[in-house]
């Protein structure tokens, strides 16, 4: 039988030399990553590796996890996927197992500069090619994003701008491949083209504050992360909660910020599909309708997941409702105690609590600790 205890998660650190940093490794107090650019830490997904023991060797494995280039390279060892395959009802809960047949959530702790103009489709638009990808962002620091179409946007002009830029950048890339143009000159040309056509004029640009929470789970919404090296040197520090769907089947891109590899290769975009599925309703594109504010302990409720923020000043008992629970220590230090064992979690650490535990106890190790709790309500 599965042990009825919380399991500490070994973070899966993804190295991103072009846009990562050392915020994540510093926040977590890890022994790795200080000299590497870490872009993401996978806090929860089906392949999350679990610490079965709380001995010193296991602790060192947590403090010095291997750096990865791709989250799909699942390391040997006990994973949530392995446990759920053997004990699906005990690990996930009957409702989760019946609906998803797997661990459905992906939680990422991210440090990122800008990314592409993106869209995830609505659930009603799901098809063989594209799948919806509900997601929500919780900012740990000030950030810069685009969200929704500008209310005065002419959608045909925006589409033509994206098509023109994509074609022009492809032609520049072809010249680099043929050695007719240096990479540096190509980059200059791309910057000039982008500045001249300015696709940002068609979308809403927002500076957001630490603690900002936005829900994109409805789909059909344009979005991106932006960068400003002078005012936001850290980039965007985001705690992302989402349904785990492969990027290739869920992310539609209209503009990739002119990114080109040294060999002239550029990303293939999905411009026609992006404009087929983007919702142009001005109210739907107003960020005020997607911002979420804390009510009691609840930060966010969607049909696919809930996010709570627990302030722990004294020992408190928490109860499992409809699904497993994931905990992330945002500040302080907490012992999470279950019937068959405990874990002592420092800031930046995560643990997975199987459905079969039913209840667990949070015991603060500092005067005040803050815990992010993710679960599913049916």
Mean pLDDT of 222-250: 96
Note the pLDDT tens digit of each residue in 129-141: 999 999 999 999 9
Note the pLDDT tens digit of each residue in 152-190: 999 999 999 999 999 999 999 999 999 999 999 999 999
Instruction: State residue 67's pLDDT score.
Output: 58
d(CA 310, CA 371): 5
Q: Is 372 helix (H, G, I), strand (E, B) or coil?
A: strand
Note the pLDDT tens digit of each residue in 199-232: 999 999 999 999 999 999 999 999 999 999 999 9
- For the record, the structure tokens of 61 come out as 């494995």
Nearest-CA neighbor of 241 among 108, 102, 92? Answer: 108
Count CA atoms closer than 13 A to 112's CA, side-chain side: 19
The domain made up of 7-149+205-248 has a fold known as Jelly Rolls (2.60.120)
- Helical packing angle, 183-197 and 155-177, nearest 10°: 170
Q: Where in the sequence of the chain do the CATH 2.60.120.10 domains occur?
A: 7-149+205-248, 298-375
With a threshold of 0.85, does the pTM exceed it? yes
Average model confidence (pLDDT) across the chain: 92
Helix residue spans in 55-182 (DSSP H): 56-63, 80-86, 88-92, 94-100, 155-177
Instruction: State residue 66's pLDDT score.
Output: 60
The domain made up of 298-375 has a fold known as Jelly Rolls (2.60.120)
């Amino acid at each position: 039988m599965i042990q009825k205890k919380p399991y500490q998660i070994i973070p899966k650190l993804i190295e991103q030399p072009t846009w990562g940093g050392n915020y994540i490794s510093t926040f977590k107090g890890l022994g790795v990553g200080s000299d590497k650019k870490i872009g993401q830490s996978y806090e929860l997904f089906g392949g999350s590796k679990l610490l079965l023991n709380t001995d010193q060797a296991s602790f060192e494995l947590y403090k010095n996890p291997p750096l990865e280039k791709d989250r799909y390279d699942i390391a040997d060892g006990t994973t949530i996927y392995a446990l759920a395959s053997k004990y699906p009802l005990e690990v996930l809960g009957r409702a989760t197992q019946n609906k998803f047949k797997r661990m459905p959530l992906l939680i990422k702790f991210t440090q990122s500069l800008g990314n592409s103009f993106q869209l995830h489709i609505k659930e009603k638009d799901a098809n063989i090619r594209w799948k919806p990808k509900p997601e929500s962002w919780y900012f740990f620091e000030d950030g810069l994003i685009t969200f929704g179409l500008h209310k005065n946007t002419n959608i045909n002009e925006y589409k033509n701008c994206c098509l023109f830029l994509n074609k022009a950048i492809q032609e520049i890339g072809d010249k680099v491949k043929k050695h007719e143009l240096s990479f540096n000159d190509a980059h200059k040309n791309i910057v000039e083209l982008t500045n001249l056509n300015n696709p940002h004029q068609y979308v809403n640009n927002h500076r957001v504050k630490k603690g900002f929470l936005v829900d994109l789970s409805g789909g059909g919404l344009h979005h991106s992360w932006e960068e400003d090296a002078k005012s936001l040197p850290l980039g965007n520090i985001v705690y992302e909660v989402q349904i785990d769907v492969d990027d290739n089947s869920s992310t539609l891109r209209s503009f990739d910020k002119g990114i080109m590899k040294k060999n002239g290769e550029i990303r293939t975009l999905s411009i026609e599909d992006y404009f087929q599925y983007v919702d142009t309703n001005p109210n739907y594109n107003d960020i005020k309708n997607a911002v979420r504010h804390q009510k009691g302990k609840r930060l966010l409720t969607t049909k696919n997941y809930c996010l709570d923020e627990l302030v722990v000043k004294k020992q408190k008992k928490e109860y499992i409702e409809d699904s497993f629970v994931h905990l992330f220590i945002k500040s302080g230090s907490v012992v999470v105690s279950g019937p068959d064992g405990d874990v002592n979690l420092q800031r930046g650490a995560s643990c997975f609590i199987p459905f079969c535990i039913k209840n667990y106890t949070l015991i603060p190790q500092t005067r005040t600790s803050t815990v992010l709790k993710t679960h599913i309500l049916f």
